[in-house]
């Protein structure tokens, strides 16, 4: 499944969680850097508006489908992939890192959230090494001098897998910069994943996620934050349906 923004092309190139964990495990074992993005409909809306975001996204070498609309589009395109929510990846990726003997870092959110998330991770993944916890300020620029300093600090810490909870487009932009400045590091953009682990945010109940209504659950819980976002998502969806059907005919 691909999304074209000439001259750039963004591909969902990892079909499911098992394949992703295998590829990340191989990269951590061999010392190869990577950047993982979890694409969803909100990202597609942002990609349509922001050239810088498109450039950053094209630098992500592992992309999974984080959202049922992406999965549905993949089926329309005749190139099906499975749902791999970024929020569900933190613990499995931490287990892979632990098995490889690789320290991890937590970047984003706030210091109290990072401390609580670190405690939860270590409880669920015994033996996990957390080498760094960094909560950048709200006005953090993901490609500025402060970003360079954070990347250098991550490299010095010994961390090899960095969980980025900065929100889109900051986390993907920071990961793209990281691939240039510290190419031996792995970056996983996981949005609110650390907030969920820390208990700061509450995920939709399992039955709501099972019927693909997490978006509605979130919007009803915080309409001021999500109503405009989901309106933008709805606006870009028809064009992607047409593009997916064209891919099917190729």
Predicted TM-score (pTM) of the model is: 0.94
Residue among 231, 225, 208, 239 nearest 42 (CA) = 231
Whole-angstrom distance, CA of residue 67 vs CA of residue 191: 13
Residues 6 or more apart whose Cβ sits within 8 Å of residue 199: 116, 120
Render pLDDT for 86-102 as a digit per residue (tens, 0 to 9).
Answer: 989 999 999 999 999 99
- pLDDT over 70, % of the chain: 96
pLDDT at 1 over 90: no
Please list the residues that pair with 186 across neighbouring strands: 34, 161
Residue 219's pLDDT band (cuts 50, 70, 90): low
DSSP3 helix / strand / coil % (the chain, rounded to 5): 55, 15, 30
């Amino acid at each position: 499944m691909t999304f074209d923004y000439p001259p750039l092309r963004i591909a969902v190139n990892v079909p499911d969680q098992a394949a992703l964990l295998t590829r990340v495990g191989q990269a951590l074992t061999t010392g190869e850097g990577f950047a993982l993005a979890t694409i969803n409909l909100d990202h597609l809306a942002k990609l349509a508006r922001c050239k810088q975001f498109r450039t950053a996204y094209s630098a992500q070498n592992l992309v999974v489908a984080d959202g049922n609309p992406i999965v549905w589009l993949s089926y329309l395109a005749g190139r099906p992939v499975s749902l791999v929510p970024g929020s569900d990846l933190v613990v499995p990726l931490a287990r892979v890192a632990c098995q490889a003997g690789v320290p991890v870092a937590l970047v984003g959110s706030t210091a109290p959230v990072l401390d609580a998330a670190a405690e939860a991770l270590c409880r669920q993944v015994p033996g996990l090494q957390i080498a760094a916890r960094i909560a950048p300020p709200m006005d953090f620029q993901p490609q500025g001098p402060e970003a360079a300093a954070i990347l250098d600090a991550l490299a010095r810490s010994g961390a090899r897998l960095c969980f980025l909870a900065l929100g889109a487009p900051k986390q993907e932009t920071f990961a793209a910069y990281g691939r240039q400045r510290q190419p031996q590091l792995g970056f996983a953009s996981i949005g609110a994943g650390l907030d969920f682990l820390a208990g700061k945010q509450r995920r939709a109940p399992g039955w709501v996620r099972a019927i693909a209504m997490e978006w509605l659950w979130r919007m009803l819980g915080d309409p001021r934050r999500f109503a405009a976002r989901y309106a933008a998502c709805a606006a870009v969806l028809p064009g992607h349906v047409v593009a997916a059907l064209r891919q099917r005919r190729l």
